[in-house]
Amino acid sequence: MQHQKLRPADAASLDVAELRRTLGSFATGVAVATTLDSEGVPKGFTANSFTSVSLDPPLVLVCVDKAASCYGAFASSNHFGINILCEHQQHVSRAFASKSADKFANMQWVAGITGSPIFPDSAAWLDCELYNRVEAGDHLVIIGKVLGFGHAPARQPLGYHRGSYIAFGSES
């Protein structure tokens, strides 16, 4: 079997659409990050970059696009929530991925310990205080220390792969 040597992509000729398709090959869960702006107005976005970082201390991270309408709120807030959506919450994912001015219209939420909006119908949630922020290209990486969390084992998570929602199904 012949092996070809892969060449690094030339940054000047990088096909962004093809890179997006390549990155979309990684199946992920779907999460909505939430916070309150300086006036106490809830803000949020559907996050395609969320991960656990550490158990000791308990840290998670989320990446917010600098072009997002809620960027200012997340760049200045000292807290945020992560809502890991379940299969029946595609409408929530779509609402928070949209350009809608009021993404929280008709959304049921409660204030977490930090005040961050938490969706009680989610598969899981985390309430975090700011631990660190890191500038990274066209995104801001926000690392939070988990202060509160919960999960509903009976709820199946919502997945996303190659531009479409996916179902993980029940465990056997």
In CATH, what number is assigned to the domain containing residue 36? 2.30.110.10
Whether residue 158 is contained in a domain is answered as no
Averages of pLDDT over runs of 10 residues in the chain (172 residues) are 62 77 83 97 94 97 96 98 96 95 94 97 97 96 98 92 83 48
Whether residue 71 is contained in a domain is answered as yes
- What pLDDT is recorded for position 83? 98
- What pLDDT is recorded for position 172? 43
**Smallest Cα–Cα separation from 74: which of 111, 104, 110, 38?**
38
Whether residue 155 is contained in a domain is answered as no
Whether residue 75 is contained in a domain is answered as yes
- What pLDDT is recorded for position 20? 81
Whether residue 160 is contained in a domain is answered as no
Range of the domain at 64: 29-149
> Number of structural domains, the chain?
1
Whether residue 11 is contained in a domain is answered as no
The structure's pTM equals 0.88
Whether residue 169 is contained in a domain is answered as no
Whether residue 3 is contained in a domain is answered as no
